């Protein structure tokens, strides 16, 4: 007979294992697994690099290496076990072969290839199944995977470092460094757990960033992408070093595309949404790419989580396009006065028109504070989608 408190206790051990591989298995979800028999943990495992073993297989291997057995055990998994052939064989087959008495998982896998089939296969094999233990805690670890599978877009957070009066740079563009070393290192953690770091061409011109992970250890570097509507990036920009950077543009320029390919960049043409009046003296207008289409493209590539580090113009455009799920704001205890804000947005006539987010976490990082705020409606929608009707 199941014990709810015991289920939570062991599931949280499995969740800790999944949390421990935040930087590792993309585009696969982060999953942890614990095998418990007669009140003792016989094996533990977490999903490995893409193409490697999943959490259930790693935990069952650990059981064997410990000279123990999973027969009659209860197995705790943070996501419904897969039941299809992908890069690896179905985890359900390995579980059935191990003959546990019971399998507990946090929530259903919304991947259309799974979506309840894993549960049914286990039950048809005579294994008791319990679903829904620590479901929201599990979603916190894989919001991007759930979003990609159910909405067709990644989960996107926007990171900005700002003063107390909401300025991200001086009027002349100087922004390094508003926050201290601890806040910058934390920002690299969020880069490392993402699939792609996205910026705009304005930030590339002003700051010439690398957008690589340097302040935390990671087994893989996230990909980098630049929203560059006019395809005006300099081929010597640091963000292109090492190759593999994706450039999203609304401009078809075969010669420039070939030159950028020589430095390892991939140019992706995205349809233009509308012309945006420029602030340049020329009075000309500039193209603007469909940002939601950019996110759909990234999802089709297998990107789960997107980390945005851009200027106020790009931040505002992404917010207006409805692309941002969460804000990650690092606030420094200083006042800048006249300068650049977090996002350029059109003026409102009523406060009720303002996009609303809910604070979910506040953390002290050296002299600075990190604020996390997310769209409640979007989060609740993801929660609904991990439960089968």
Annotated active-site positions, please?
Answer: 56
325 and 140 Cβ atoms separated by less than 8 Å: no
Does 367 belong to an annotated binding site?
Answer: no
Question: What are all long-range contacts of 360-368, with beta carbons under 8 Å and residues at least 24 apart?
Answer: 363/186, 365/179, 365/180, 365/182, 365/183, 365/186, 365/330, 366/180, 366/181, 366/182, 366/183, 367/180, 367/332, 367/333, 368/179, 368/180, 368/182, 368/183, 368/330, 368/331, 368/332, 368/333
Does 189 belong to an annotated binding site?
Answer: no
Does 311 belong to an annotated binding site?
Answer: yes
Does 316 belong to an annotated binding site?
Answer: yes
Does 314 belong to an annotated binding site?
Answer: yes
Does 315 belong to an annotated binding site?
Answer: yes
Residue for token digits 């996501």? 79
Q: What residues contact 350, with CB distance under 8 A and at least 6 apart?
A: none
Does 91 belong to an annotated binding site?
Answer: yes
Q: How many CB atoms lie within 10 A of CB 113?
A: 14
Q: How many CB atoms lie within 10 A of CB 74?
A: 23
- Quote the tokens at residue 358: 């809910």
Does 375 belong to an annotated binding site?
Answer: no
Does 214 belong to an annotated binding site?
Answer: yes
Does 389 belong to an annotated binding site?
Answer: no
* Known binding residues for Zn(2+): 54, 82, 91
Residues at the binding site for NADP(+) are 161, 177, 207, 311-317
Known binding residues are: 54, 82, 91, 161, 175, 177, 191, 203, 207, 211, 214, 309, 311-317
Annotated binding site for substrate: 175, 191, 203, 211, 214, 309
């Amino acid at each position: 007979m199941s014990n709810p408190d015991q289920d939570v206790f062991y599931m949280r051990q499995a969740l800790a294992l999944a949390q421990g591989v935040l930087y590792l298995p993309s585009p696969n979800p982060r999953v942890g697994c614990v095998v418990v028999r007669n009140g003792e943990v016989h094996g533990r495992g977490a999903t490995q690099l893409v193409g490697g073993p999943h959490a259930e297989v790693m935990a069952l291997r650990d059981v064997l290496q410990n000279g123990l057995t999973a027969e009659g055990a209860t197995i705790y998994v943070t996501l419904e076990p897969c039941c299809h052939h992908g890069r690896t064989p179905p985890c359900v087959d390995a579980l059935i072969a191990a003959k546990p008495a019971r399998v507990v998982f946090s929530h259903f896998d919304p991947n259309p290839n799974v979506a309840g089939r894993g549960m049914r296969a286990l039950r048809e094999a005579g294994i008791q199944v319990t679903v829904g233990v620590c479901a929201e805690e599990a979603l916190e670890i894989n919001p991007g995977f759930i979003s990609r599978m159910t909405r067709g877009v990644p989960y996107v957070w926007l990171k900005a470092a700002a003063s107390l009066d909401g300025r991200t740079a001086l009027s002349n563009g100087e922004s390094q460094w508003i926050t201290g070393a601890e806040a910058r290192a934390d920002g690299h953690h969020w880069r490392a757990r993402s699939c792609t770091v996205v910026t705009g061409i304005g930030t590339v011109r002003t700051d010439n960033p690398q957008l690589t992970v340097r302040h935390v250890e990671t087994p893989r570097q996230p990909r980098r992408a630049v929203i560059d509507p006019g395809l005006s990036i300099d081929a010597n920009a640091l963000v292109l070093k090492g190759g593999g950077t994706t450039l999203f543009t609304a401009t078809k320029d075969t010669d420039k595309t070939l030159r950028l390919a020589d430095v390892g960049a991939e140019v992706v043409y995205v349809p233009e949404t509308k012309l945006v009046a420029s602030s340049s003296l020329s009075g000309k207008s500039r193209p603007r790419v469909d940002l939601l289409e950019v996110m759909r493209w990234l999802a089709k590539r297998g990107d789960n989580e997107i980390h945005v580090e851009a200027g106020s113009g790009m931040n505002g455009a992404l917010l207006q396009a409805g692309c941002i799920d969460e804000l990650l704001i690092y606030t420094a205890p200083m006042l800048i006065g006249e300068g650049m804000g977090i996002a350029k947005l059109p003026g409102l006539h009523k406060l009720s028109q303002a996009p609303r987010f809910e604070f979910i976490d506040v953390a002290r990082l050296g002299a600075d504070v990190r604020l996390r705020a997310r769209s409640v409606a979007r989060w609740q929608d993801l929660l609904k989608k991990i439960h089968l009707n």
